[in-house]
């Protein structure tokens, strides 16, 4: 009997170590991947994943974290609009949205719940860049495709979609230096939501250029939370304390930063900010007064590309582990009404929403007609 129990134990151990267990989750395969015009590998070193093909249509969930600013609200609305578009709708059996706030445990709990409910794919904006290992293992065990985008993770174990955040910081620093003609002076940096990889990487890229040998800038750093009202307040406070800045780098909430400068009657200076339509309107209106603005676009439509990537992976296509999306940029030199900003639209939204190679083309009315509410 004891010998029989030993055999049973060895059999169980063998099952745990068997190829069936090892095959859970994606395989690393050779490229190229599917639809390289849309799903562009981050670099020549990017590896490729392939999941076992599943029959569709699929159950897809968006697990968002923070939802208290214009970008996140528009992102959720964009996801709902994309789920209804021809070519996508027929591949989605069920689409759910939940926003969990800034607590990592709440986001992980929501993701685990969707996995346990039998969802096939989860797209997510990670609350933090780490702490997701257990959920990744659980998803792999259940052959669920998880796609972080925007705020991505510090891992190469999942497929992710993003724009180059460090490059946004670098290009912002170069813009301020080129437009001001200075290598020293007082600079205001309005950061985003603390703890997120996007805010961290933009900050690192910005400082990399501004603090390079030969430069001697004094940088005042405040936290704007990617929110118009918060950015306006912290900019006003910084102006009250420091009096004058020679250039400004602001993340989301850019229009609030400009409003604070105007209210304080601060002269316009070279400035790099996000892709809000309101900010682009401000640049267009005040470029002649000295607002030499650059607007880089972290598009809320990243969620659509993440959803499209999840569906493609579920269909068994090889996919890049890290997908690179081009950075849409507009400046005071090339703003064009009706093309890259909309002067007649009063509701604030992020202007860059089109990625033609991915078939992602939204109009503002399509997006704004949706609700940002949870759908659970």
Which positions ≥6 away from 165 have C-beta within 8 Å? Answer: 197, 198, 201, 202, 205, 298
Which positions ≥6 away from 140 have C-beta within 8 Å? Answer: 24, 25, 26
Q: Phi/psi at 350 (nearest 5 deg)?
A: -90, 125
- With beta carbons less than 8 A apart as the criterion, state whether 301 and 353 touch: yes
pLDDT attached to residue 4 = 35
For the stretch 169-226, pLDDT in tens is 999 999 999 999 999 999 999 999 898 889 999 999 999 999 999 999 999 999 999 9
pLDDT of residue 167 exceeding 80, the answer is yes
| pLDDT tier at 146, thresholds 50, 70, 90 | very high
Tokens of 329: 């940029």
How far apart, in whole angstroms, are the C-alpha atoms of residue 69 and residue 226? Answer: 7
pTM flag (> 0.75): yes
| pLDDT tier at 373, thresholds 50, 70, 90 | confident
């Amino acid at each position: 009997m004891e010998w029989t129990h030993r055999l049973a134990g060895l059999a169980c151990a063998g099952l745990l170590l068997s190829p069936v267990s090892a095959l859970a989750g994606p395989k690393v395969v050779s490229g190229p991947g599917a639809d390289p015009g849309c799903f562009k590998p981050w670099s020549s070193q990017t590896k490729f994943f392939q999941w076992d093909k599943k029959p569709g249509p699929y159950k897809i969930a968006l697990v968002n974290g923070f939802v208290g600013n214009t970008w996140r609200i528009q992102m959720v609305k964009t996801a709902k609009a994309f789920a209804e578009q021809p070519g996508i709708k027929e591949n989605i059996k069920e689409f759910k949205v939940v926003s969990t706030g800034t607590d990592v445990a709440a986001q992980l709990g929501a993701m685990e719940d969707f996995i346990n409910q039998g969802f096939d794919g989860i797209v997510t904006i990670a609350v933090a860049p780490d702490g997701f290992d257990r959920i990744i293992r659980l998803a792999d065990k259940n052959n669920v495709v998880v796609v972080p985008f925007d705020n991505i993770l510090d891992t190469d174990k999942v497929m992710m979609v993003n724009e180059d955040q460090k490059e946004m910081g670098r290009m912002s620093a170069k813009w301020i230096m080129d437009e001001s003609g200075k290598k020293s002076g007082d600079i205001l940096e309005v950061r985003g939501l603390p703890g997120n990889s996007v805010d961290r990487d933009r900050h690192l890229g910005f400082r990399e250029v501004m603090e390079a040998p030969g430069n001697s800038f004094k940088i005042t750093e405040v936290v704007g939370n990617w929110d118009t009202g918060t950015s306006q307040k912290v900019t006003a406070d910084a102006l009250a304390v420091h009096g004058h800045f020679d250039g400004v780098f602001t993340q989301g909430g850019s229009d609030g930063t400009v409003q604070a400068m105007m209210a304080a009657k601060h002269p316009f200076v070279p400035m790099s900010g996000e892709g809000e339509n309101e900010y682009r309107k401000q640049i267009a209106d005040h470029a002649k007064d000295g607002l030499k603005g650059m607007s880089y676009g972290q598009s809320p439509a990243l969620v659509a590309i993440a959803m499209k990537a999840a569906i493609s992976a579920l269909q068994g296509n090889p996919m890049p582990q890290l997908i690179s999306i081009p950075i849409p940029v507009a400046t005071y030199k090339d703003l064009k009404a009706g093309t890259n900003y909309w002067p007649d639209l009063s509701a604030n939204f992020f202007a860059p929403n089109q990625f033609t190679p991915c078939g992602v083309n939204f109009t503002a009315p399509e997006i704004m007609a949706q609700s940002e509410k949870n759908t659970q």
